Amino acid sequence: MKIGDLVKKKKTALYSVTKIGVVIATNPRSRRDGTLECSTVRVRWADAYGSFWTTFDSLDMVSEA
């Protein structure tokens, strides 16, 4: 996932509202082998909901930038 990607929140038993947003920042972490992992991204959500850090696993990709 990279900056500019369009994403939506995965539906869960506790979260059933579909929110759409754009990735505005990533939080890469270095693994021991030197590769990068991006486990969290900052998303600017539509409808003035706000910008929040969220885990990669809780998002579905809608469209790539």
* Segment 44-65, tens digit of pLDDT: 999 888 999 988 888 988 988 7
Instruction: For 11-27, write each residue's pLDDT tens digit.
Output: 766 666 678 999 999 88
Give me the DSSP letters along the chain: --TT-EEEEPP-SS--S--EEEEEEEEEEE-TTS-EEEEEEEEEETTTTEEEEEEGGGEEEEE--
The pLDDT value given to residue 11: 75
Whole-model pTM: value is: 0.76
The pLDDT value given to residue 57: 83
